[in-house]
Structure 1
Amino acid sequence: MANLLFYLSLTVIWIMLLYHMFLMQGGYFHYLRYARSIPDWEKNELPKPMVSILIPAHNEEVVIERTIKAMLRLEYPKEKLEIIVINDNSSDRTGEICDSYAAKYPYVKVVHTKPPHAGKGKSGALNQGLAHSTGEIIVVYDADNTPERKAVHYLVLALQNDPQAGVAVGKFRVVNAAKNLLTHFINIETICFQWMAQAGRFFWFRVTTIPGTNFAIRRSIIEKLGGWDEKALAEDTELTIRVYNAGHYIRFFPAAITWEQEPENWKVWWKQRTRWARGNQYVVLKFMGRLFSLRKKSIMFDLVYFFFTYFLFFLGVIVSDALFVTNLFVDLHLEVGIVAMILWILAYFLYVTEVMIALSIERTELNAKNFWIVLLMYFTYSQLWIVLVLYALYLEIKRVVFRQELKWYKTERFAAEKKSVPPTERQV
């Protein structure tokens, strides 16, 4: 029995590794092709639609001014732009800072939320911002984001020239990547996510997951869907499923770039990633029962991917590791032959290869320092993710069993250092 479980676990691990290599190929092909259409699209000179940028903000005084300044520098006609900051029941100077900019710039608006319909999470804040917006296109940015000047231009460009796309998703980079080892790990993880999970799935299956920031959605669609799900911790993934199920698709267009701040200590990282994991588990459990009744069949790939990632893959890693370690102390008659050892070693080198290919797509990221970090990352950061997913699953099961109310955790921000500011912001 132990041998059967061990080899089944190893099989699941290899299926995921080979699938990620397949996605990596698609991601690289998309990297080579996505920008070819930009010159022709820009020649069309279509009339610019009204755009509403929604920025949910709860106790964001450390970063909100830098974010608003980045929005003011966007290369988009100001008469066609409204920047709406949702000051979601903040107890710090967030509202005061936002009001000072709204007083100077007529296209900057502030929505102040109050209890009982306030401070409950990002989805609720976005729904209130949507109610106060007028734009034909709704763009969402987190309060710690500094988009590049043409980010919104590219998001709108993609929607204007691709009528079948209901959402356009851009790329995000880590502004504080060089801060410490943790932010280096997160930077590598972020790059891999975009060129494997995002670009690869879009290239092969026309499937993309909406991130929490730097995306544009047609107003008609978000209104038809009834806004954001206020019960979802991963409101972006949940919205993704509903967009596809409504008959639309999501375009990954990495020309639109934003820079965002990531956790700089493990405590903040743990809380943020636990929320992400619980949110994605919620989405899987919410929609897996309706897998074969979904209108858009391509979204099945996304649900199966999340199911493998947050359930089967991690379960396979946990079972194989547990059996191997237990066998060192208790004789389970586990036959870990030379083939299994070779497969384990090959899995590690395949992991490293996939990550390095992803890094090669981003200029300056394929270097010796990152190579050594990737080697270390497998044995540290990646393994910690396994523990985190288990913990998140425990919390989610407890919530369902005891019918607990979901509690939103807002990621703690850190004061930006000068070297952590992206090049586009330093020039001003």
Structure 2
Amino acid sequence: MTVADILMLIAVICIWSLLLVNVVLIVAGFLYYMQIENEAPPQLQGEVPFVSILVPAHNEGKVIVQTVQALLALEYPRDRYEIVVINDHSSDNSRDLLSALQEKHPGRNLIFLHTDAETGGKGKSNALNVGFRQARGELIAIYDADNTPEKKALLYLVSELTNDPSLGAVIGKFRTRNRDAGLLTRFINIETLSFQWMAQAGRWKLFRLCTIPGTNYIMRREIVERIGGWDVRAVAEDTEISFRIYRMGFRIKFQPKAVTWEQEPQTVKVWFKQRTRWAKGNIYVIIKNLPLLFDRSAGSVRFDIIYFLSIYFLLVTSLVVSDLLLVLNALGFVMTTLAGFSSFLWMLAFLLFVLGTFITVVTEKGEMRLSNVWVIMLMYVSYCQLWLVVAANGLYAYLKDLAFKRETEWYKTERY
């Protein structure tokens, strides 16, 4: 075998190993969804806990009013929750909009905190720490500033957490509010349903592991106090705090009936910037928690380390190597006898991707559409390939920040 054959074989083995892991997660996730579908929604038992909802907001004037109004309409006892909006060094009209809201809803537990250049503008983690210092709740819920949670979302999250003392946090699901705005938002909608929430469901079913998303989750106050708040150096503060909860011996559960709707990027430029931030943040978390791989007490948490390592390093490298070898072989610069076999596997992977993704998407009401098949096929050859560039750019951004010792800043996702 030539060197090119060996490299191609290694790349194919890596890609298919990860593909099969994803198939296992899809199957397990599908079973979990069916289980939840047949169960009654979680119910509050005993005394109703007081909840502080933190909403970090930086220049969110376009969406903040709708978000606060949705939070005010939650089906949860009015005197048992407060809404703490951290207007974090905004330069738009957010302060005026929030003041008008406070006048419109006197007597409600609305707290608006306004930071300046000295106390704020340092990223979402810092804003959450500012809000937490003012929060009174025994439970802490987080919603992004562009969210409109369904009325029972908070009730379901609280019920799950209070009914099981082994849980440190409970996460709900976010859906794409503007999914029909264009082809990009349809891609994002499918990605969210298939590769985020189905994977979360599968990991919970198999390993009792979940990663906190940036929004629509609740956690115990004592956890935030014990870990000293959110890591201000972490861009992906949600993933980072998940690992600290794991290490404290708590579990994080996924409750798909707790749903919020959020706005997604509508241009490739905004999407690329957002996803690069996610990739860079997750790489930071991987590097920070790498020692857990060699810690026997970490238990199943090591699966998440390997999972993220595989996605951001092994998969990206394998795909780049295999694609490069196929191109060089076609141009006659290298010879590999596995090119034909690799092309066959590529086609098989494509069919498996389309079938598996469509099956996961149609578990959601309103997604049983034939047009989704064509969108998924197009997604494989466009959107998924762009992800390779995003992952590489995220690694570059992480290394650049590390070299220049840059402080965390707000990475503002444009609203519509």
| TM-score interval, normalised by the smaller of the two chains | over 0.9
- Determine the structure 2 residue equivalent to 1:26: 28
Shift of 1:78: 0.7
Shift of 1:31: 0.4
Quote the Cα distance in structure 2 between the aligned partners of 1:139 and 1:293: 31
Q: Is the 8 A contact 1:171 1:214 kept in 2?
A: yes
Quote the Cα distance in structure 1 between the aligned partners of 2:110 and 2:315: 45
Query: What is the number of residues matched between the two proteins?
Result: 412
Shift of 1:21: 0.5
Equivalent AA in structure 1 for residue 166 of structure 2: Q
- Determine the structure 1 residue equivalent to 2:80: 80
- Determine the structure 2 residue equivalent to 1:275: 277
After superposing on structure 2, the runs of 4+ consecutive aligned residues of structure 1 that deviate more than 6 Å are none
Equivalent AA in structure 1 for residue 81 of structure 2: L
Shift of 1:233: 0.7
Q: Is the 8 A contact 1:28 1:195 kept in 2?
A: no
- SS of 1:170's partner is strand
Q: Is the 8 A contact 1:246 1:296 kept in 2?
A: no
Equivalent AA in structure 2 for residue 304 of structure 1: I
- SS of 1:53's partner is strand
- Determine the structure 1 residue equivalent to 2:309: 307
Farther off after superposition, 151-160 or 385-394: 385-394
Farther off after superposition, 87-96 or 29-38: 29-38
Does residue 259 (structure 1) correspond to residue 261 (structure 2)? The answer is yes
Equivalent AA in structure 2 for residue 132 of structure 1: Q
1:23-422 → structure 2 map (5 Å cutoff): 23-38=25-40, 41-42=42-43, 45-103=45-103, 104-105=105-106, 106-293=108-295, 295-336=297-338, 338-414=340-416
Equivalent AA in structure 2 for residue 83 of structure 1: I
Quote the Cα distance in structure 1 between the aligned partners of 2:340 and 2:389: 28
Equivalent AA in structure 2 for residue 385 of structure 1: W
Quote the Cα distance in structure 2 between the aligned partners of 1:413 and 1:16: 34
Shift of 1:35: 4.8
C-alpha spacing 1:119/1:348, structure 2 compared with 1 (3 Å): same
- SS of 2:200's partner is helix
State the identity %.
46
TM-score, with normalisation over the residues of structure 2? 0.96
- SS of 2:347's partner is helix
Quote the Cα distance in structure 1 between the aligned partners of 2:298 and 2:80: 33
Farther off after superposition, 257-266 or 362-371: 362-371
| Residues 193-248 of structure 1 deviation map (CA, whole Å, 9 limit, x = unaligned) | 34432000000000000000000000011111111011001000000110001110
- SS of 2:362's partner is helix
Q: Is the 8 A contact 1:124 1:230 kept in 2?
A: yes
Q: Is the 8 A contact 2:52 2:136 kept in 1?
A: yes
Quote the Cα distance in structure 1 between the aligned partners of 2:110 and 2:297: 39
C-alpha spacing 1:294/1:46, structure 2 compared with 1 (3 Å): farther
Shift of 1:332: 1.2
Equivalent AA in structure 1 for residue 302 of structure 2: M
Shift of 1:115: 2.3
C-alpha spacing 1:88/1:294, structure 2 compared with 1 (3 Å): farther
Quote the Cα distance in structure 1 between the aligned partners of 2:59 and 2:186: 26
- Determine the structure 2 residue equivalent to 1:426: none
Quote the Cα distance in structure 1 between the aligned partners of 2:58 and 2:378: 35
C-alpha spacing 1:165/1:227, structure 2 compared with 1 (3 Å): same
- SS of 2:40's partner is helix
Quote the Cα distance in structure 2 between the aligned partners of 1:247 and 1:45: 24
TM-score, with normalisation over the residues of structure 1? 0.93
Quote the Cα distance in structure 2 between the aligned partners of 1:116 and 1:140: 24
Q: Is the 8 A contact 2:122 2:408 kept in 1?
A: no
Farther off after superposition, 322-331 or 395-404: 395-404
- SS of 1:38's partner is coil
